[in-house]
Amino acid sequence: MEAGIDPGTIIGHVHLKVADIERAERFYADAFGFEVTARYGTDASFLSAGGYHHHIGLNTWHSKGGPQPAPNTTGLFHFAILYPSRKALADALKRLIDRGVPIDGAADHGVSEAIYLRDPDGNGIEIYRDRPRDGWPLDPDGSIAMSTDPLDLRALLAEAD
């Protein structure tokens, strides 16, 4: 039997096709606080949290001025931004609300708490925090028992600064 993927593997940065670099860059910098680490004219921008080379790459190489993807077509459903704690997630939610960013939904998945939204180009974004592994719900056979239950956003916001 072939060995599976190394359990220490992490999925890294995401690159998004956008219609307008300046608009997309403003959104990710303002709504989340990402910092621009590199820029290539009006064609590409790279943003980071904490000085990493980049977590998000934005480019217009094949999409400048283009429309959002049509509903019910293939493509990116969403990418996820993992916050280190419930308080950090609460602060992120408050920042989005303070800036008038629409929230599409929120869910308690048992293993995590997640909030869903879209960027100006229609790309789906999940912001979330994981619960400690020793508290994850399990089925009788030991497999993870994820769920999609309502997330109490008011209770979450009570933890924000």
Which domain range does residue 48 map to?
12-64
Does some domain include residue 1? no
CB 15 within 8 Å of CB 25: no
The CATH number of the domain holding residue 24 is 3.10.180.10
* Average predicted confidence (pLDDT) for the chain: 95
Please tell me whether residues 56 and 93 are part of one structural domain: no
Please tell me whether residues 106 and 59 are part of one structural domain: no
CB 144 within 8 Å of CB 111: yes
Please tell me whether residues 35 and 108 are part of one structural domain: no
Give me the pLDDT at residue 11, please.
Answer: 85
- pLDDT tens by residue, 87-108: 999 999 999 999 999 999 999 9
Please tell me whether residues 108 and 129 are part of one structural domain: yes
Give me the pLDDT at residue 1, please.
Answer: 61
Please tell me whether residues 34 and 55 are part of one structural domain: yes
**Model confidence, pTM:** 0.92
Please tell me whether residues 41 and 95 are part of one structural domain: no
The string over 102-113, giving b where at least 16 C-beta atoms fall within 10 Å of a residue's C-beta and e elsewhere, is: eeeebbbbbbbb
Number of structural domains in the chain: 2
Please tell me whether residues 139 and 95 are part of one structural domain: yes
When pLDDT is averaged across residues 24-38 and rounded to a whole number, the result is 97
Please tell me whether residues 20 and 86 are part of one structural domain: no
Tokens 């599976």 — which residue?
Answer: 4
